[in-house]
Amino acid sequence: MEFTAEQIAGLLNGEVEGNPEIIVNKLSKIEEGEFQSLSFLANLTYEEHLYTTNSSVVIVDKVFNLNKAVKDTCTLIRVDNAYQSFTKLLEIYNKAKNNKTGIEKQSFISESASVGNDIYLGAFAYISDNAIVGNNVKIYPQTFIGDNVKIGNNTIIFSGVKIYHGCEIGKDCILHAGAVIGSDGFGFAPNNENSYDKIPQIGNVIIEDDVEIGPNNCIDRATMGSTIIKRGVKTDNLVHIAHNVVVGENTVLAGQTGISGSSKIGKNCMTGGQVGITGHVTVGNNVKIAGQSGVSKNIKDNEVLQGSPAFNYKDYMRSYASFKNLSSLVNRVNELEKQ
């Protein structure tokens, strides 16, 4: 795809400084700029690259003052917020790139399934009985949609995703490759023969609107009722969410976060990588949990935590200042005892 500087400025409500007819057809970092590439400058740490870049077009803030002239081959587009404007362009580019339509050969749609308008269905994708797929849904190759699954409008489901029976996916969602939605919760009961009886998992998973699920996530179906991922949640790679968990609106979960069964996570929370949350706990709203922390009890709203078991971040840092010197303190005590 090719755009002129003038066209881009029109999309961003920006002002052109330089050649409005210059053409760009790719995106690049400002320090790695090439002919006919588009870059942006939001962090002034990289300002020097503006005067040497080979990018044909650079997006900058309207209030930014040049310290010297840019190259004659470089056109500026001035906008209210360079970072937000470049993000908007990335969104436009991504939508255009993923704007596939049509049903490819070797895919399968059950006669009892309902499929909306303008969908894309890749090769070897399978839509099962009584599934309902909305308008403008993109289902990439080798994806499985189980019986009675519901998928809202404008959702993108990348290759290899498996959505088990009865689960519901909202509109404007993105499910990345390899995610498994609705596999059985980890429910087993010990019996008298020193083995385990499987507890049937008869619930489902409900993913609300505008949720993005990372690659190779596993979200288990509820034993009864629903595992619920609320509106606006974003998850990183390799996240596991167990049966009957509820994750609140706009919460973000970094890679390898694991949430055990029946826990409730509030809205606007953040977890770092490898955070573990035990079962049947409640985490309040606006909670931040640092990487590799372990949560084993209820957490109030607005807490910031670190450690395993996790406790208040400031207290953790004060404690860390002591226990990182523990070996030297022990040596000093030993010397004092000898004396």
pLDDT digits (tens, 9 = 90+) for 241-295: 999 999 999 999 999 999 999 999 999 999 999 999 999 999 999 999 999 999 9
**Residue 55 pLDDT > 80, yes or no?**
yes
The pLDDT-based confidence of 110 (bands split at 50, 70, 90) is: very high
pLDDT on residue 319? 78
pLDDT on residue 207? 98
Average pLDDT over residues 283-312: 95
pLDDT on residue 224? 96
pLDDT on residue 99? 83
pLDDT on residue 324? 76
The pLDDT-based confidence of 92 (bands split at 50, 70, 90) is: confident
Average pLDDT over residues 87-108: 88
pLDDT on residue 94? 80
Phi/psi at 177 (5° precision) = -55, 135
Q: Which two three-digit tokens encode residue 24? A: 């760009």
The pLDDT-based confidence of 191 (bands split at 50, 70, 90) is: very high
**Residue 322 pLDDT > 80, yes or no?**
no
The pLDDT-based confidence of 339 (bands split at 50, 70, 90) is: confident
Which of these is catalytic: 49, 165, 176, 243?
243
CA neighbor of 125 nearest in space, from 98, 162, 152 = 162
**pLDDT digit string, tens, across residues 150-167:** 999 999 999 999 999 999
The pLDDT-based confidence of 320 (bands split at 50, 70, 90) is: confident
Average pLDDT over residues 132-140: 97
**pTM reported for the whole predicted model:** 0.85
pLDDT on residue 213? 98
Mean pLDDT score across all residues of the chain: 95
**Residue 149 pLDDT > 80, yes or no?**
yes
243 is catalytic: yes
For a pLDDT cut of 90, what percent of the chain falls above it?
Answer: 86
Cβ proximity of 2 and 24 under 8 Å: yes
Residue that is written with structure tokens 């840092």 in the block: 317
Cβ proximity of 60 and 50 under 8 Å: yes
Q: Does domain 3-97 have CATH number 3.10.20.440?
A: no
Lowest-confidence region among 17-21, 93-97, 165-169, 240-244: 93-97
Average pLDDT over residues 312-335: 80
**pLDDT digit string, tens, across residues 214-246:** 999 999 999 999 999 999 999 999 999 999 999
